[in-house]
Amino acid sequence: MTETPSLRIDKWLWHARFFKTRSLAAKQVSEGKVRVNATRISKPARPVSAGDVLTFPQANAIRVVRILALGTRRGPAPEARALYEDLSPPEEQPAQKPLVGGGPRPTKKERRRLINSRTESLD
């Protein structure tokens, strides 16, 4: 009987650099915010293996990743990116927030005109 290699989900999420600490990864799992193959899980000790699909929130986005490898350590970012395939839809770039004035920064000439118009209205 050949057993497929597996790793705790909290440890894998930490190895793949989705969370800064293993305890943060375990907390997300414990709160039921992580799904493995579309099934909500709540135990950080749940084993995962290559081919599993994980869905979890990260920052302001929902991440969907397929595990390609388990990894043996928490290495540098390029090594961590090789552990998974990102299945998340590409994020849309949010529209730039308008500045307080409602547009791009005024030029020096426009600022002078604005200041002069304010002082004239006070007279």
pTM for the whole thing? 0.72
User: Mind listing the pLDDT tens digit for each residue in 17-60?
Assistant: 999 999 999 999 999 999 999 999 999 999 999 999 999 999 88
What mean pLDDT do residues 90-99 have? 59
Q: Are 36 and 10 within 8 A, CB to CB?
A: no
pLDDT classification of 101: cutoffs 50, 70, 90: low
Stretch (H or E) spanning 15:
helix 9-15
Q: Which domains, and CATH codes, for the chain?
A: 1-89 (3.10.290.10)
Both structure tokens of 47: 């084993």
**Pairing, β 34-36 against β 39-41:** antiparallel
Average pLDDT, rounded, for the chain? 88
What mean pLDDT do residues 80-109 have? 76
Q: Are 10 and 25 within 8 A, CB to CB?
A: yes
Alpha helix positions (H), the chain: 9-15, 22-30, 77-81, 108-122
